[in-house]
Amino acid sequence: MSLSSAGMTQTADPQSENKPSLRDLLVVVFFTTMVMTLASMAVLWIPAIAPAVAADLDVSPSLVGYQFTLAYMGAMTTSLLVGGFVQRFGAWRTSQSSLGMLAIGHLILMSGHLELMVFGSLATGFGYGMMNPPALDLLNRVVTPSNRNLVFSVRFTGVPIGGVLASLVAPSLTLAFGWQATMLVVGALGLLLFVAMQPLRARFDANRQPDAAVVRDPFSGLRLVLRSRALRFFAFTGLCFAAVQLSLMSFTVTLLVDEVGWTLVTAGVALSCVQVAGVIGRVSWGVIADRLRSSTAVLILIGSAMTVASLTASQIEADWPQFVVFGFFFVFGIVAVGWNGVFASEAARISPPGNIGHTTGGVLFVTFSGVLFGPVVFSMLYQVTGSYSATFLASAALAALGVVFLGISRRAARAQ
């Protein structure tokens, strides 16, 4: 499959003997990581200042939390539609467009009217969903078999980095200027990044198809995934792993405060251990996958470790030493938050030639389903059992199921 760009020495097939330009590799990794960091900041900005937003709107902070759900609904939508944009306008321009959509979303959120904020949250999600398929297309052009997992994993560090930046910057700016004024930050940073990317547009979008249809059957990419046994079960793995990841991020603090008796501040330190470990894990797993030359083997290892960690989390008691709990959640974060880069690398690798944008969009739609519905299902489970420990038992079951799906996908891919 030839998706070569002007001045680039490699086709989209990373198995090519021609090595890509180091300059192209560094440029693509840098800008796709920056776009992902900003997108992560945009989605997590409101949750980071939820109490201030809720107080100003005179609503419960839990209601503000629905902004996160709406954003991921938007992301799921555009993940199915973005393939046509990638082919027609190019992956680079589509990445720039995601920045514009993120800015529009935050400008609408800035209005402070609940009805409009619903649309602002969806628009922010539209921007978030637009960034992954073009980035995977771009990365797949500049990697080699020896570095592809590391490259994809480095790019995916943008998610936890963006989350950390949002949690550090947004509250301080809110105290200084008010929450509505802070919504300009994402728009301003997005505009700067858009302008910085523009000189390189012609180089990296030389392979675009100007006559390709932009508006097409939104489920075409999803059907490509569901028709392929390997891709279908691989996507199901993403759903399971994403649900585990979000349950860990959503319920760690509540588990430690309500059932272990920790203070909110101390429990927050444990959650910080998870977030920092996520950055380390994404890079480390990428290196290991490249050394082993097997993304699926590493994902099976991660899923198995996730299962054990989830079972362990359900057994945490008040008499456990704090340093042990901190260390445990650090390890849990390495596996539960560190898998995304290797997963995306493999999704791009096994996608049909010429359909990376469509296929990865379909895979991400299924994966986002786990992000969207996982915490809801776990919350319902808590209502039934009255125990947050039970949610981690459910996480263990999902992680184990993800490993089973990976095994099926791996055998199907080898049989193709």
Task: Kindly list the structural domains of the chain, giving each domain's residue range(s) and its CATH number in brackets, ordered by start.
Answer: 19-198 (1.20.1250.20), 219-416 (1.20.1250.20)
Residue 87: pLDDT band by 50, 70, 90 thresholds? Answer: confident
Q: Cβ(79)–Cβ(85) under 8 Å?
A: no
Report percent pLDDT > 70 for the chain: 92
Residue 389, token pair as written in the block: 């420990």
Residue 62: pLDDT band by 50, 70, 90 thresholds? Answer: low
The single residue listed with the structure tokens 């996507």 is: 235
* Amino acid identity at 109: L
The single residue listed with the structure tokens 């090595």 is: 19
* Amino acid identity at 207: N
pLDDT per position as a tens digit, 372-392: 777 778 777 877 887 777 888
Q: What is the mean pLDDT of the chain?
A: 85
Check residues 264 and 180 and name the one with the higher pLDDT.
180
pLDDT per position as a tens digit, 329-347: 999 999 999 999 899 888 8
Q: Cβ(14)–Cβ(349) under 8 Å?
A: yes
Q: Cβ(158)–Cβ(30) under 8 Å?
A: no
The yes-or-no verdict on residue 103 having pLDDT over 90 is: yes
Q: Cβ(22)–Cβ(143) under 8 Å?
A: no
Q: Where are the alpha helices (DSSP H) in 66-147?
A: 66-89, 91-109, 114-142
Cα–Cα distance list, 283 to 67, 134, 286, 342, 344 (Å): 29, 21, 5, 9, 13
Residue 314, token pair as written in the block: 């359900």
So what's the pLDDT on residue 24? Answer: 93
Residue 274: pLDDT band by 50, 70, 90 thresholds? Answer: confident
First to last CA, the chain: 17
So what's the pLDDT on residue 12? Answer: 41
So what's the pLDDT on residue 63? Answer: 60
Report percent pLDDT > 90 for the chain: 44
